[in-house]
């Protein structure tokens, strides 16, 4: 794989998201769901290294609005501008004003059923790791141990002047009394989230790539699969001939590569719980 810089998503045409078994496109009905459940159980049973790839959809179940869903933040604010490195450097107050209810309230939010279920499956040895596009830290809070955060995390913030690192709680404290958090050197703190225009973290990226190479089954949960280079992980995985399962309420550009395709994340999780307990 050759993945490096995070790019703004391209606009894609809407495509129909049917359920897929092998090369056969099937309509959603009870008989199809039964067939899918059998194939899902077989896929999980035979997988020796199952990994999950998660997007904002798993966190909407925790009450966090996603970006590109039906009621996503993209429709309420300029998300591309919010996470644009050039804009941050010109006016960091724009980011901090608009991210208070998106990032700096995360300590008030509990993981969703999806987060806890993935942590449970990891504890059973069924899921080996989680590769996530999210930076809400909820996978770790739910108990997942092997988490690869492709887009970084606000757990740490770095001073853009002297390089000093502080933790999330320190920034939350500062934001209670000021618009932009600053270092003792008067430099501005930036969250260790990968903004558009920034390079992905090399060691983290390499570790995630190695994990994908080891995997023999990938389940995508709650991702629109339009943000690059993260979306390249499931794409390259499927092109290697490995089974890819996609669970997302909206169509994705990679639906044609899916061995199994679901639109109901909660229903999928319920089925997953039932077949592994």
Residue 226 φ then ψ, to 5°: -120, -15
Q: Which among 153, 170, 191, 180 has a CA at the least distance from the CA of 91?
A: 180
CA atoms of 82 and 104, how far apart (whole Å): 14
Q: Which of 75, 107, 139, 151 is catalytic?
A: 151
Residue 249 φ then ψ, to 5°: -75, -20
Taken in order 118, 122, 128, 132, is the CA torsion positive or negative? positive
CA atoms of 81 and 85, how far apart (whole Å): 8
Q: Are 228 and 7 in contact (CB under 8 A)?
A: yes
Cβ atoms < 10 Å from Cβ of 240: 11
Q: Are 5 and 197 in contact (CB under 8 A)?
A: yes
The reply to whether 139 belongs to the active site is no
Q: Which residues are catalytically annotated?
A: 151
């Amino acid at each position: 794989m050759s993945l490096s810089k995070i790019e703004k998503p391209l606009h894609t045409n809407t495509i129909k998201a049917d359920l897929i078994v092998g090369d056969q496109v099937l309509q959603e009905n009870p008989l199809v769901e039964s067939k899918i459940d059998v194939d899902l159980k077989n896929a999980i049973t035979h997988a020796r290294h199952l990994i999950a790839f998660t997007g904002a959809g798993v966190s909407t179940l925790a009450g966090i609005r996603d970006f590109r869903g039906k009621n996503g933040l993209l429709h309420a604010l300029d998300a591309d501008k919010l996470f644009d490195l050039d804009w941050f450097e010109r006016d960091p107050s724009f980011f901090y004003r608009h991210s208070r209810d998106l990032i700096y309230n995360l300590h008030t939010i509990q993981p969703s059923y999806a987060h806890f279920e993935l942590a449970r499956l990891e504890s059973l040895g069924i899921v080996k790791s989680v590769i996530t596009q999210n930076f809400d830290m909820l996978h770790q809070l739910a108990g997942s141990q092997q988490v690869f955060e492709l887009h970084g995390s606000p757990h740490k913030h770095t001073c853009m002047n002297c390089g000093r690192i502080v933790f999330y709680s320190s920034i939350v404290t500062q934001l209670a009394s000021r618009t932009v958090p600053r270092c003792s050197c008067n430099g501005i703190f930036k969250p260790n989230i990968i903004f558009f225009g920034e390079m992905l973290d090399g060691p983290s990226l390499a570790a995630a790539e190695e994990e994908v190479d080891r995997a023999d089954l990938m389940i995508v949960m709650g991702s629109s699969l339009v943000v690059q280079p993260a979306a390249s992980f499931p794409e390259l995985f499927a092109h290697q001939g490995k089974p890819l399962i996609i669970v997302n309420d909206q169509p994705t550009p990679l639906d044609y590569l899916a061995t199994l395709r679901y639109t109901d994340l909660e229903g999928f999780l319920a089925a997953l719980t039932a077949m592994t307990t």
